[in-house]
Structure 1
């Protein structure tokens, strides 16, 4: 598209809105993709909500429930979220992105610029940028708008897909769900590599000093070496799409997969994830699929910079081993998700 669209969900901050409008007018836009490029500017109230944004999402959800595609389906987005307190910017952003994504919106990696009270979240940047906190915010927004304006679908002849899991196929409903999906991907132009994060192969990040981490990152390594450096890092680096197989553990992803995310920091400091997409299969015993999806969005998209493609997560509720196979609408869920993956992969391949 030839311009960047601004969706303003604020009642104040007119000066900021005008700055964003002025900055967006001076950008060069990549125009080969058909998606609208949209920045959502959201102001949170004292309990971390935004009525204007909620009304918009409710309207779009109503369209979908009535068989009308949401306008979000043709959007690729980024966010600016403002809070008068110290909390809620990230939790609201995760929820907002998840809901938009379920209706077809794509998000760039590192899609969020947040502002908390007194610009405190920019203090870390002030250690390297000799600027006022207010000016650092403007710099970060400029970078965000520039990346959004230049964002395009990646182009590949054939896709490399890495699947990460920490379960056992004979008892894991999540892996059974994934196997049904994978079986229908056989005709797609992709090479699927599954990596089992087994007990004893992965330990969490020990929190080395920044200098130590950067030293090893220069060689795409880690002080603790082993499975992470020898197997995980090379496979992540080669992958175009990383699929996270996530059963719900206490409304979060498993400790092993969380350790994987934490250990990605060293690789993140040596390469960019900006041309890699994430997908996920999530199964909860009772509820909480959105909690797990939000954790993935926060850790991998907001913080690590992976792309979030439309409808990134296949989700279901199943408790006892094998219960997933008894779902009445299981085939519909599988077909729907396979169609979403096909749309993504076909768009990538078609660009060649």
Structure 2
């Protein structure tokens, strides 16, 4: 990454960490130099960041909310940073919600995130059951290993620089009526000279959702390059994702959620994910809401593709707009300029 520090900056809002969280952090930083900040008072540029959030029994950290407010009201305050997140809580809830909110706020403030940027320490650490079994260790030891690995990955991250990026756009909308596709048309026009672009519409044919095959079944079909359910995912989407440098999700807001077909496609990526690393592939999104809630859908896209499937998240990964009636998106004040800036940011994040 151009102009980025080789050392780690730890941002830990809200005063003292819980003893468990403090111990995990201390162990992960052994032998490393790290600057520790309790709040953001000015911009940070070109830093490698580890956000550490310790929640209370109610899933609250007041300093964390102050941090969110600062990030949301100071665009570009994390320009050219790359981030990771550790959230610890005494209960089983709220850690992922806090992580998703933080990733979106920091991302819109200019911070990229490595793939799988979130480590969660839930109350009983049962979320580390599989990792502990695979490593042959205790749940607490698996928690320590995951945090140390996260620090290692954020320190090692280098953004791919591509001569001619290959983009894959996925959508499930009608071109005749979709505001989301109309905005993508504006963005695509600015990208075509410097990128190879593929579009796949998930409305064609039947797209079955993942039904939760046993791990061994999913792994078996993944090793064969497919999925038990076949169809458009295996025939078109899997090969296109293997070839792509970046995925663009075109996301109309359906009841404050991703559309059913996009959700099914993301779920069906599990078989491919079991055998293919997405760490060098970026994810972008265009989100259009009829009334409000675009941030909720953007969090879902980031959560599914960056936190779960391991795509890296470029800074300012999403274009968020509000439009309801057919054609309204193209009539929004300043929309051409915002679409152009979004396209230029995509090129800046991916290309030479």
Query: Could you say whether these structures have the same fold, taking a TM-score greater than 0.5 normalized by the shorter chain as the test?
Result: yes
Q: In the TM superposition, what is the alpha-carbon distance from 1:50 to its structure 2 partner?
A: 2.1
Separation of aligned partners in 1, 2:72 and 2:257: 25
1:8 pairs with 12, 16, 19, which one?
12
What pairs with 1:39-78 in structure 2 (closer than 5 Å)? 39-64=50-75, 69-70=76-77, 72-78=78-84
| Secondary structure of residue in 1 paired with 2:174 | coil
| Secondary structure of residue in 1 paired with 2:135 | coil
Q: In the TM superposition, what is the alpha-carbon distance from 1:199 to its structure 2 partner?
A: 4.0
Separation of aligned partners in 2, 1:28 and 1:226: 50
Task: Report Cα offsets for 1:23-70 as digits up to 9, x if no partner.
Answer: 3354699xxxx8311111101133323221222232344443xxxx41
Q: Which sections of structure 2, spanning at least 5 residues, go unmatched?
A: 35-44
Q: In the TM superposition, what is the alpha-carbon distance from 1:227 to its structure 2 partner?
A: 1.7
| Secondary structure of residue in 2 paired with 1:9 | coil
2:89 pairs with 78, 83, 97, which one?
83
| Secondary structure of residue in 2 paired with 1:73 | coil
1:284 pairs with 278, 285, 289, which one?
289
| Secondary structure of residue in 1 paired with 2:269 | helix
Determine the structure 1 residue equivalent to 2:234.
Answer: 229
Q: Which sections of structure 1, spanning at least 5 residues, go unmatched?
A: none
Report how many aligned residue pairs link the two structures: 337
Determine the structure 2 residue equivalent to 1:125.
Answer: 131
Determine the structure 2 residue equivalent to 1:138.
Answer: 144
Question: With structure 2 as the length reference, what TM-score do the two structures score?
Answer: 0.90
Determine the structure 1 residue equivalent to 2:272.
Answer: 267
CA contact (8 A) 1:37 1:148 kept: yes
Separation of aligned partners in 2, 1:221 and 1:106: 31
Separation of aligned partners in 1, 2:236 and 2:286: 22
Task: Please report the RMSD computed on the Cα atoms of aligned residues, expressed in angstroms.
Answer: 2.0
Determine the structure 2 residue equivalent to 1:104.
Answer: 110
Task: Report Cα offsets for 1:282-322 as digits up to 9, x if no partner.
Answer: 10111110111011111111110011101111111111111
Q: Residue 128 and residue 22 in structure 1: after superposition, are their counterparts in 2 closer, same or farther (change >3 A)? A: closer
Separation of aligned partners in 2, 1:288 and 1:273: 28
CA contact (8 A) 1:284 1:316 kept: yes
Q: In the TM superposition, what is the alpha-carbon distance from 1:186 to its structure 2 partner?
A: 2.8
Q: Residue 154 and residue 185 in structure 1: after superposition, are their counterparts in 2 closer, same or farther (change >3 A)? A: same
Q: Does 1:159 align with 2:170?
A: no
Separation of aligned partners in 2, 1:342 and 1:40: 27
Q: Does 1:245 align with 2:250?
A: yes
| Secondary structure of residue in 1 paired with 2:79 | helix
Task: Report Cα offsets for 1:186-214 as digits up to 9, x if no partner.
Answer: 33x21011111124241101222111111
Q: Does 1:95 align with 2:101?
A: yes
Q: Does 1:321 align with 2:326?
A: yes
Question: With structure 1 as the length reference, what TM-score do the two structures score?
Answer: 0.90
